[in-house]
Amino acid sequence: MARYRGPRLRLCRRLGDLPGLTRKASNKQAPPGEHGEKNRKPSEYAVRLEEKQKLRFNYGVNEKQLLKYVKLAKKVQGSTGYVLLQLLEMRLDNTIFRLGMAPTIPAARQLVNHGHICINNKLVSIPSYQCKPGDIISIKQQDRSRNLIEKYLMFPGLANIPSHLELDTVNLLGKVNGIIEREWVALQLNELLIVEYYSRK
């Protein structure tokens, strides 16, 4: 299977905080594994690989999908790393997570796959759908769907909603007002290292 199904806290201990993957925090500080305590200086390749893995596991994309996003980002004018982050942040599953409608990105993906989410009053079941400015994200008109989202909204994954998004908690509507800015990306990483990683392939 392409999607990661293993222990999530193990990944967080290895790669650092991944807000999109899990809300849990580990009590252990050392990296996982028998040699986790050893402090060896990582190679340049290892540093770039780690940044790439952060991006992959946080947004829940596989290697093939990420490579596709990198190629797409290279075709767009501007900083490739910044465009790559914008493409990943504007995915539907991530947008639902950032609105607080789901506690994690995998939970948001499940909401989309199970047909709870509508875009501009049309049912969308593709988590990788690219949200555009002006899109209205609504919940399917069913009690089950509304109850699920209301429960999630009581305990949002992240404290603040980014400036490019707007949430109406009464009608359970989300609106995309623009493209995300770099300072609102919740993941701590250096996107330039990811571009370098793929440029050497």
Q: What is the pLDDT of residues 82-96, one digit of tens each?
A: 999 999 989 999 999
- Global pTM value: 0.83
User: Sorting pLDDT into bands at 50, 70 and 90, what band is 189?
Assistant: confident
What's the longest Cα–Cα distance across the chain? 55
All domains of the chain, ordered by start, with CATH?
8-32+41-87+185-199 (1.10.1050.10), 91-178 (3.10.290.10)
User: Nearest to residue 89, comparing CAs of 189, 186, 193?
Assistant: 186
d(CA 100, CA 156): 5
User: Phi, psi (5° rounding) for residue 91?
Assistant: -65, 150
